Amino acid sequence: MKKNPLKNLNTMLKLNPYAKTARRMALLAEEQRVKAKKEKLDKKRKQISKEEATTIKGSGKAWYQTMISDSDYTEFENFTKWLGVSQ
């Protein structure tokens, strides 16, 4: 019975000698990707200081206030009728 070169490494090497190098390079590239991803996630998961937390919270609150002021529909005639607000 003929062996499947996709499953049997020795048969693949007889057909394609570069397969060994290609497989090794793929494994090394995968290790590097896993390591880079782990470092990136560890960096994101690190604890932030109180000062950084307050600046983040302050910028979020400022953005929320601008969002509220931008969506003030009471200034427009059509929306005041729809909202039932009398002037």
What is the pLDDT at residue 65? 86
Q: Computed over its alpha carbons, how large is the radius of gyration of the chain?
A: 30
Residues 1 and 23 in one domain: yes
Q: How far apart are CA 85 and CA 66, in angstroms?
A: 22
Residues 5 and 17 in one domain: yes
pLDDT tens-digit map of 12-21: 999 999 999 9
Residues 6 and 42 in one domain: yes
Residues 42 and 81 in one domain: no
Assessment of whether the complete model's pTM goes beyond 0.85: no
Q: How far apart are CA 15 and CA 46, in angstroms?
A: 49
Backbone angles phi, psi at 85, to 5 degrees: -95, 125
Find the distance separating the first CA and the last CA of the chain, reported in whole Å. 90
Residues 3 and 26 in one domain: yes
Q: Is the pLDDT of residue 77 over 80?
A: no
Q: Mean pLDDT in the chain?
A: 87
pLDDT tens-digit map of 39-57: 999 998 988 899 999 999 9
- Give the domain range for residue 20: 1-46
Residues 41 and 78 in one domain: no
Residues 3 and 42 in one domain: yes
Domains held by the chain: number: 2
Tell me if 52 sits within 8 A of 59, measured CB to CB.
Answer: no
Residues 63 and 29 in one domain: no
